Amino acid sequence: MFGRILIASLVSLLLAGAAWAADRVKPDYLVGTWSLEGTAACESPVAEKIVFDKDQGFRSYRGGRLESAGFWHLGDDYVEFHVVSSAAILNPELDEYVGYYSMVSIDGLETKVEKNRLELTVRVGDNMDHWVLDRCPKQ
């Protein structure tokens, strides 16, 4: 009797682990264009979007302009972004920083992974945020 309970428990743990692993982001999953303003914004040239490349590079756009670029790396349950941008791009009032670029790391913990939607809790320095990315159809 104890043996059957042990085997049933082990099988349950293995199945739960397999389901958990299936919900983790894989490299090919990210490749493409993702909207941070919902799927309806995919068609808008000024919407906030991130384009993930197969070579683990990315570009982010807002207002029709390139806002940042960099590369991404996958951990067990997080996406790590290494971003190059300018304070003048992120905030036009900081025009004294035109031509000056810096690099920042952003850690995104995967909180929900669906076929065409990814939710991340992100940390940028001391700030926390929640991103909802919707996959845009291939254009």
Backbone angles phi, psi at 51, to 5 degrees: -110, 115
Report yes or no on 18 lying in a domain. Answer: no
Report yes or no on 121 lying in a domain. Answer: yes
Report yes or no on 16 lying in a domain. Answer: no
Residues of the chain with pLDDT under 50: 1-22
pLDDT of residue 118: 96
Report yes or no on 89 lying in a domain. Answer: yes
Report yes or no on 33 lying in a domain. Answer: yes
Report yes or no on 22 lying in a domain. Answer: no
Express each pLDDT in 89-101 by its tens digit: 666 677 676 777 7
- The CATH number that applies at residue 45 is 2.40.128
Report yes or no on 50 lying in a domain. Answer: yes
Distances (CA, A) of 119 to 18, 42, 54, 76, 88: 20, 17, 20, 15, 28
pLDDT of residue 79: 92
Looking at the structure of the chain, the number of domains it has is: 1
Quote the domain boundaries for residue 49.
27-135
Report yes or no on 100 lying in a domain. Answer: yes
Give the integer Cα–Cα distance in Å for 136 and 32.
Answer: 8
